[in-house]
Amino acid sequence: MVKLEELMKIGIGGAFLAKEKIEELIEEAKKKGELSEKEAQNLIEDLKAQSNKKMEEIKKMIEEEIKKQLNELGVATKEDIEELKKEIKELNSKNNEK
């Protein structure tokens, strides 16, 4: 079974390799005169924006999977603990009133 961390590294590694390769192709096209400096810069900026978007999607997907796995294991979340603290405070307040 592939670990979540390994999947993350594969996805991120693949994204960076693809980005580097595309940047190389853009630089080659610019040197050959197939792209102007401005066109090359625009393509690189678009690539960076797309790369950032993909990284956020990967991050969100990983976070969701971690939450799912923790939930299946029955691990309490921060929200669960905060809710319990709130309930304890309320119970203590009620007991102190008596």
37: which residues sit within 8 A by CB, 6+ positions away? 30
Contact 15, 51 (CB under 8 A): yes
Q: What is the pTM of this model?
A: 0.52
| pLDDT the model gives residue 91 | 94
Out of 10-14, 47-51, 61-65, which region has the weakest mean confidence (pLDDT)?
A: 10-14
86: confidence class by pLDDT, cuts 50, 70, 90? very high
Interhelix angle 37-73/4-31, nearest 10 degrees: 180
3-state secondary structure of 31: helix
Tally of domains within the chain:
1
Contact 35, 24 (CB under 8 A): no
Per-residue pLDDT tens over the stretch 2-45: 455 565 566 666 666 677 777 777 777 778 887 787 887 787 78
Judge whether residue 88 has pLDDT over 90.
yes
| pLDDT the model gives residue 87 | 95
C-alpha–C-alpha distance, residues 95 and 90, integer Å? 9
Q: What is the dihedral of CA 14, 16, 17, 20, to 10 degrees?
A: 160
Judge whether residue 52 has pLDDT over 50.
yes
- What is the extent of the structural domain holding 18? 4-97
